[in-house]
Structure 1
Amino acid sequence: MQTYRLAICENELIQAKFIQKILADYAVERGIQFHLPIFESAEAFLFEYAENKAVDLLFLDIQMEELDGVALAEKIRETVDQLKIVFITGMTERIGEGYRVSASDFLIKPVKKDQLYAVLDRVLTTIPKEEAVIVLPIEDEQVKLPLSRLICAEIVGKELVITTTTSTYSLKTSMQDFMKQLDNKQFIQTNRNWLINCQHIERVKKSEVIMANELVIPISRRNSKDVAQAFISYFRKDAQ
């Protein structure tokens, strides 16, 4: 499930919670996940953001006490360009100030659900997707592996041998337990002992699949249709 890191900086707590509820509903309806902390002042957000810049999209009230929303955005832009900012305001005359700090959009108070949904539909498409990863327990360390690098996995004796674009790893785990960590639309078993990543398939034949690294992997008669369909479905989705 795709996760986006959102934040709401709004000094009116009732308004902030109202926006938070709409955002939560949107996430459920779209099948995605939001982190949704609320900050009741620009200073509180700035303190947190200085420590941990883990925010993709900030909903920012323009009119706040002491440091206002535009001033906060200017401070953010001194060091960060990629953070998406959506201003919330009841003062339409200040909308022009948002262009100085490359605001992605604006919401006029009182915020309406359909307007917020429309903003999300536009802005979320501009946020790079977070690459899915798994963590492999290799001997006495934990190795983080992006799923895009995983080519295939094979049961060899009592171990699972994983081939990636850069390395090979051996794990003491079962195929079933390993598959629980994966996106089942991207990975498919060709037979009881082999699992492949559709992203790295070069060609599919009746009894074997040729991977992009030229590795030839056998396909059982039972799994041949499923492998062919998974290959077609994956690249059809990827092309959309």
Structure 2
Amino acid sequence: MTSPSPQSLLSKLPNFDPRLIPVEGVDSHLAAVPLASLQPAALRQRFAFPPVWAPELLAEKKFMDRAPMHASVLVPIVMREQPTVLLTERTQHLSTHSGQIAFPGGKVDEDDVDAAATALREAQEEVGLDPSFVQVLGVMPHYVTGSSFIITPVVALVEPGFTLTPNANEVADVFEVPLAFLMNPAHHQRHSFEWEGVRREWFSMPYQDDATQRFIWGATAGMLRNFYRLLSA
């Protein structure tokens, strides 16, 4: 049977399959973040004394007409011998970004005192990550999605030994990706597609996890790219 074309899958942009869009380039010409800079002490130092740097990606082109909503995500770096990033796969029935790879996180509640409180609360609600295992390092600049979420990424170290209990209504899977893989631009793929006269561009960072390919792209890849820019500044 003939596979559907990218054009047919883009009849509604939020539901298209990014795996079908060709890779335009890979940033292998950029240096990877040194492994020593990915260790907990170095990450603490980077946030305690941040360098002068600028995020590469701030806002996606809008594809959903609704009022902006503030949200926070936790960028959880698990302090294993080789640090990893804890990520989730969203369930297919969610109204926005269904099936995508994401950081734990969600919309701000009026009782949240700050962005970190939102991220910690959402991570506990989504995957059961106990805040007692989490040390917040700091925040990165807002990232605005095409679906009108104004996201504050909250970077944190996570002590190993936690037990996760994912919320089956929101999370299809939880997994870890080596931080060194994500902070190596040789794994940062560039894509673009023109839709309704608007050129849309994004990164992907496909990671092969045993028999499963984790297709990290869009907002998650964009925030990881900004994290790369912070660590390599």
Name the TM-score, length of structure 1 as normaliser: 0.22
- The one of the two structures with greater contact order (alpha-carbon pairs below 8 A, sep at least 6) is 2
Q: Which has the larger radius of gyration?
A: 1
* Structure with greater helix percent: 1
Name the TM-score, length of structure 2 as normaliser: 0.23
